[in-house]
Structure 1
Amino acid sequence: MSTRCEMILEELDEYLIELEDFRETVLSTMVMVNEIPAPTFKERNRADFLVDRFSELEMLNSSIDEKDNVLGIIPGRVGDRDILIVAHLDSLFDETVDHTVTLEPSMAIGPGVSDNSLGAAVLGTLPLIMERVGLELDANLVLLGSSRSLGQGDLEGLRFVLENYKRPFTAAVCLEGIRLGRLSFSSIGMLRGELTYRIPEEYDWTKFNSVGAIVDMNDMINRILEIPLPRKPKTTIVMGQMEAGTSYNTLPTKAKLRFEIRSESEELVSELATRISFLAEEMTSKTGAKVEFKEIARRKPGGTNFSHPLNTISREILKRLDIKPRITPSSSELAALIDKGIPAITIGLTTGENAGELEESVLIKPINKGLAQLMALLKAIDMGCTNES
């Protein structure tokens, strides 16, 4: 590692001191972000809040595009390169959920605080964070609050920006609220799918073995789990969610199963999707119900190598902060950046509990380490410490 890159690591202690009391600013912004519901495809109100913050901080070209992405630019001293910082705006929770955040001495609790209100809050305070530690870059920083990322959104917002932004990105950093220490620089092959089971109104319930949607869908799950999976390439099928039934004593006529296929092999993802589609057709023919397979999202495997300079300096930053790096593949925003050949990494900003639940939480104390990590990483990218050459 070069001397100038080593100097960045030595500045981390100063960053920690300067950011010790800055957590309150980030937390207050996170609370305001989180209390605006933003389910996928309905992020506009949250986008309006964030673009107002960008404008208040005098970012260049603060705007909302036709997909409800929010963009703002922190101009660099030279401005000959663009570095992308992205955090998704959408949440798993819809408008029917109480989005109030409870602040306790050690943590903040509320649905969506970690995924991804904290990431969006860091976007909305980034110029202030940089000012606090005295960080000025030569490159422009393009801040993106991306829409339509989760579930059926399938990264639509980010993909739209990558297709239409006029200049290439030197590198990109994706912000996630939790799992401080995570480093994701590769994307695993993935397919998210839905199986929908519907019994027609004219169905003959007197026929043998008429058991309803839940039992038949459970049989489908068992059939899927019987599909042999190889150890290499690493492959798994995750049963994520099932919906069925309306009461204790009524045979259900509808059921929906959401699942995800993950594999290091793109070909194996496609093969397994085909087998599940065949199982749906087979159940349709056997039960008389209509069983449909629908592909919701797909990712290709790819990414940079473990030894890439961006990944190397990211690990060194965490080690200097006394945080053990955890290398995990990602299927989120990183995947769209990889598809475009942009060196990119996903980092976590703090630790937390109960991700994806109403009692989702983020711990307050580690946030300053997450912010210091981000400052050092941005400086390393700007100074060329992450260039393969």
Structure 2
Amino acid sequence: MTDFKPLEKKLTGLENKLKKYRELLLANLVMVGEIPAPTFNEDKRVQFILNRFDEAGLTDSSIDDHGNGIGVLSGKEGKDSILLNAHADTIFSQKTDHTMQVSSDSITGAGVADNSLGLAVLATLPYILEDLDIELKKDLVLFAGVKSLGRGNLEGIRFFLENNPFKISDAICIEGIQLGRLSYSSIGMLRGEITCTVPESYDWSRFGDASAILTLNEVINKINDIRLPKRPRTSIVMGSIVGGTSFNTIARDATLGFEVRSESQEVVEDTGSTIGDIVHEVSSKTGDQVELDIFARRSPGGIPYAHPLNECARSVMESLDIEPRLAPSTSELSALIDEDIPALTLGITVGERTFKTNETIQIDPIFKGLAQLIGIILAVDGGYCE
């Protein structure tokens, strides 16, 4: 890596300079955060981001055939591009109250951390770079991706990567939290649902014998009995369970949402196959309809710890007194890895109660997170990461 000192000088005092954009950033955050955007229904939020790109003077902004929002901040040379990605969807439904509650030091609201803040940064960055008189050599492609979470299975960014005209040299994925997050690799993953349904023909005179929840519980017990290796590190996360309608009614259906995660793709596939066997066994034994639906997969991979982009990111963090938190990811980073694009995922601020309607982020650390992001963009643009 080349001498980092010239870039360190540019980072000196940058955090304080960025505080002047507090009101603009928070206004963008509140406005975009109060637009519901469950996966497959992100169009209104993407249109808001496109309007912001247009107001910032980005002449080359558009919505592609998959619904992704794209804005291009042209560089002086434009031979290749830096991709800046923030997913537009959230886990919350249209019916959820999306009101953002702003205090002097924090903002609370559904999806504010995941990923309304990331989108707000995307919308505000063109204003910041212009006002700070920062002109890049490379094009900066600002990407608000759709269909990222859950059953979306990264469809938005995968479509973009397969069809875009840009020569992308490096990419950065922006997440609202946590500041210090530095993800440069993806683990193997398999995500799915197991649904149990008691058939219409069941003999209901057998008091207490039938319950989709009890059948699903048998599936869960058998999954818990699967022997997982310690090396490569592997886990099964049973993240959600839904079933039944009331206290005094036997549950006719129940659904388990789960993920298999491992450093080994072979272990992921073997574990998924074992879960499939369990589902068939329990279905045959109970007579209930038990079905397995696998709707998302990830392959392990990423850039090395010593990759220049990774080294640059750690150097920028060190200069800003940010302690890197190294952790693998199963987000958009994995789609970039699949295309052999050097990429990182970063967090912007600190927060708590993630994935709950009272999700909260702290305001003051945002500016250090912004300085970190701009610093890494400048490092890539300046050739420090080659």
TM-score by length of 1: 0.97
Structure 2: tracts of 5 or more residues without a match? none
Map 1:95-114 to 2 at 5 A.
95-114=94-113
| 1:68 matched to 2:67 | yes
Distance 2:277 2:270 in 1: 11
Matching residue's letter, 2:175: E
Deviations 1:242-277 (A, max 9, x none): 010100011101000000000000011010111101
Q: C-alpha displacement at 1:198, in angstroms?
A: 0.6
Deviations 1:181-235 (A, max 9, x none): 0000000000101000011111123458714011221121111011001110000
Pick closer, same or farther for the CA change 1:282–1:342 going to 2, 3 Å.
same
Q: C-alpha root-mean-square deviation of aligned residues, in Å?
A: 1.1
Q: Which residue of 2 aligns with 1:329?
A: 328
Q: Which residue of 1 aligns with 2:303?
A: 304
Quick check: 2:79–2:167 contact (8 Å CA) kept in 1? no
Q: Which residue of 1 aligns with 2:2?
A: 2
| 1:340 matched to 2:339 | yes
Deviations 1:88-130 (A, max 9, x none): 0001111101100000111000000000000001111111121
Distance 2:375 2:97 in 1: 36
Partner SS, residue 168 of structure 2: coil
Quick check: 1:18–1:132 contact (8 Å CA) kept in 2? no
Distance 2:55 2:5 in 1: 35
Q: Which residue of 1 aligns with 2:379?
A: 380
Distance 2:164 2:132 in 1: 29
Deviations 1:146-190 (A, max 9, x none): 000000000000000000012321000000001000000000000
Partner SS, residue 221 of structure 1: helix
Map 1:5-84 to 2 at 5 A.
5-84=4-83
Matching residue's letter, 2:256: L
Partner SS, residue 280 of structure 1: helix
Partner SS, residue 25 of structure 1: helix
Quick check: 2:218–2:282 contact (8 Å CA) kept in 1? no
Q: Which residue of 2 aligns with 1:204?
A: 203
Q: Which residue of 1 aligns with 2:316?
A: 317
Q: Which residue of 2 aligns with 1:276?
A: 275
Distance 2:159 2:59 in 1: 20
Q: Which residue of 1 aligns with 2:87?
A: 88
Distance 1:295 1:381 in 2: 37
Distance 1:99 1:214 in 2: 32
Partner SS, residue 202 of structure 1: coil
Distance 2:104 2:326 in 1: 30
Deviations 1:65-89 (A, max 9, x none): 1211000100001111111000000
Quick check: 2:198–2:210 contact (8 Å CA) kept in 1? no
Distance 1:100 1:157 in 2: 26
Structure 1: tracts of 5 or more residues without a match? none
Quick check: 2:39–2:149 contact (8 Å CA) kept in 1? yes
| 1:183 matched to 2:182 | yes
Q: Which residue of 1 aligns with 2:191?
A: 192
Map 1:239-318 to 2 at 5 A.
239-318=238-317
- Which of 372-381 and 198-207 deviates more? 198-207
Pick closer, same or farther for the CA change 1:252–1:209 going to 2, 3 Å.
closer
Q: Which residue of 2 aligns with 1:123?
A: 122
TM-score by length of 2: 0.98
Partner SS, residue 255 of structure 1: strand
Q: Which residue of 2 aligns with 1:229?
A: 228
Distance 1:159 1:301 in 2: 16
Matching residue's letter, 2:306: S
Partner SS, residue 349 of structure 1: strand
Distance 2:59 2:333 in 1: 25
Q: C-alpha displacement at 1:55, in angstroms?
A: 0.9
Identity percentage of aligned residues: 47
